[in-house]
Amino acid sequence: MGHDKVGSYFAFGKHQWKYVKWIALSEPTYLTWILKNDFPNSVKAACQDAVQWAQSGPKTWSGPERSERAAQSASDKELRDINRIWKDRDD
């Protein structure tokens, strides 16, 4: 689990570099799966907080899907894909 100015993000798994609150809105079953399985307490706490946040009322996520670490660790192709997605959102 990583943390930056936007929030907590996954540093592992299929949602690596994605923000936990973004996952709470887009794929809450993933967080439920983590809560039911063998993960560190710090990961479970971040997931539980995000689930409670998402369930507390209508929410939208105005931040990016992925942390800045995604760009630092991505291959050239992944960087192009990420940039294309952001460009498409701006158009």
Q: What is the pLDDT of residues 23-61, one digit of tens each?
A: 998 899 999 999 999 999 999 999 999 999 888 876 666
DSSP lists the bridge partners of residue 2 as: 9
- The phi, psi pair for 2, rounded to 5°, reads -115, 165
SS3 72: helix
Average pLDDT in the chain: 78
Q: Which of 47-51, 63-67, 76-80 has the highest mean pLDDT?
A: 47-51
Q: At 82, is the pLDDT very low, low, confident or very high (cuts 50, 70, 90)?
A: low
Q: Which of 6-15, 57-66, 76-85 has the highest mean pLDDT?
A: 6-15
